[in-house]
């Protein structure tokens, strides 16, 4: 998106980095940058490995969702299966792993929907969103201390919940609206055939 | 979304909070919680005041966008005007303030699209999304050290960029897809008439 010449009047330049927090989950740094007017400023943000969310689409049009308690927002959210990437883990491998761990499903076909920054002001995170179909059920493999409930829900019911304000997870809301455009034959997807993991 | 009785098998319960980082921009805490199986775990996350994004819709169908450099992701993003809420600031007041500060526009009508959690795993943030119309141009009031370029872009061009992977800001992607459904008369909005700030 950035054109180095055309965007010189907007672009900041890195000077130095200071470690702020190396936590049990979050890594926070504070960078000093040069602003376009040559003054300096600091930018404090999370260094994040990136994440993947999956829209698991059943043959009958239902979507495999997960319900889980999210302590920072104090409620159970209905979300797409998703998770952080392991170090150096390829995006599709992460998508396949998270789908199987959280729901038990494996998928024969995959298509990439896009990559999105969910908190560009304070996190390096990119959330990749993929669609999976030709699903095959199997046992889930939740980590210890992970409590997730699987629910297969028709897309129309999910969209109705979204419209009514009952689908507050942002990646899920975005992904469902995009899927609806694909289903309306407006936006094509580029499917890859994958041999499911055993 | 949470039903205390039905969701007992998913819900975590707060035990204590530890301050982890009181930074120049980020406030990080680590809570200890009880899991549904009565074991304990820690949850490290950002305490965030919430934010508002605005879809400023011109009479001719263009959307008022901002281009700004986002250091954490290292690029200029095309985004909706948005910003953090000041302490105790009502949501609509924040929406009106951010629209005017970043773009100079004031609006005669406002409709709430919804509230979304953009990082429920590691932030308390709720991003409210509002639509503004009956726009009136005026001078922007950028903070010192804030470099933002305003661009009025037709919705169809924005949707094309989104489909082509050139609209990676998640709140903007979600908001544009929702707006497209409203424009297709699929999802109504509930407009409020507001006297613009001077």
Q: How many residues does chain B have?
A: 198
Task: Report the predicted TM-score, pTM, of the whole model to 2 decimal places.
Answer: 0.96
Hey, which residues 105-134 in chain A have their CB within 8 Å of chain B? 114-127
- Residue among B11, B37, B68 minimizing CB distance to A69: B11
Q: What is the value of ipTM here, to two decimals?
A: 0.96
Separation CA A43–CA A124 (nearest Å): 12
| 8 Å CB contact of B120 and A72 | yes
The C-alpha atoms of residue B38 and residue B50 are separated, in whole angstroms, by 31
Helices (H), chain B: 91-103, 155-163, 170-183
How far from the centroid of its chain's Cα atoms is residue A114's Cα? 10
How far is residue B132 from each of residues A126, B107, B135, B197, measured CA to CA in Å? 28, 6, 7, 13
Q: Please say whether the structural domain A51-188 has been given the CATH code 3.90.79.10.
A: yes
For the ranges A23-27, A46-50, A74-78, B125-129, the lowest mean pLDDT is seen at: A23-27
B51-185 CATH choice from 3.40.50.1110, 3.90.79.10, 3.20.20.150, 3.40.50.300: 3.90.79.10
Cross-chain CB nearest to B10 (options A68, A166, A173): A68
pLDDT tens digits, residue range B65-118? Answer: 999 999 999 999 999 999 999 999 999 999 999 999 999 999 999 999 999 999
Contact residues on chain B for A75, CB-CB shorter than 8 A: 1-2
List strand residue ranges (DSSP E) for chain A, in order. 13-22, 27-34, 40-46, 51-56, 62-70, 75-79, 82-84, 106-116, 127-136, 149-154, 191-193
Residue-level pLDDT, tens digit, chain B, 198 residues: 567 678 989 999 999 999 999 988 999 999 999 999 999 999 999 999 999 999 999 999 999 999 999 999 999 999 999 999 999 999 999 999 999 999 999 999 999 999 999 999 999 999 999 999 999 999 888 888 889 999 999 999 999 999 999 999 999 999 999 999 999 988 999 999 987 555
Look at B26 and A24 and tell me if their CB atoms are within 8 Å.
no
Q: How far is A183 from chain B (nearest CA, A)?
A: 14
Q: C-alpha angle with apex B148: B72 to A117, nearest 5 degrees?
A: 30
Taking CB atoms and an 8 Å limit, are A168 and B1 in contact across chains?
yes
* Total count of residues recorded for chain A: 198
Are B45 and A114 in contact (CB < 8 Å)? no
CA atoms of A107 and A146, how far apart (whole Å): 22
């Amino acid at each position: 998106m950035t054109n180095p010449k055309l965007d010189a009047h907007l672009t900041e330049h890195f000077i130095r980095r200071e470690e702020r927090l190396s936590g049990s989950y979050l890594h926070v740094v504070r960078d000093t940058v040069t602003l376009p007017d040559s003054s300096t400023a600091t930018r404090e943000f999370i260094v994040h490995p990136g994440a993947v969310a999956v829209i698991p689409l059943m043959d009958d049009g239902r979507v495999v969702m997960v319900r889980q308690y999210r302590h920072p927002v104090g409620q159970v959210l209905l979300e797409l299966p998703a998770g952080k990437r392991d170090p150096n883990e390829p995006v599709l491998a992460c998508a396949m792993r998270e789908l199987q761990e959280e729901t038990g499903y494996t998928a024969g076909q995959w298509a990439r929907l896009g990559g999105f920054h969910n908190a560009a002001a304070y996190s390096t995170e990119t959330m990749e969103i993929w669609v999976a179909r030709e699903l095959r059920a199997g046992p889930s493999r939740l980590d210890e201390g992970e409590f997730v409930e699987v629910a297969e829900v028709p897309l129309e019911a999910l969209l109705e919940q979204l419209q009514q304000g009952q689908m507050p997870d942002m990646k899920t809301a975005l992904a469902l609206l995009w899927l609806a455009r694909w289903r309306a034959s407006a936006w094509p997807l580029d499917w890859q055939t994958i041999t499911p993991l055993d």
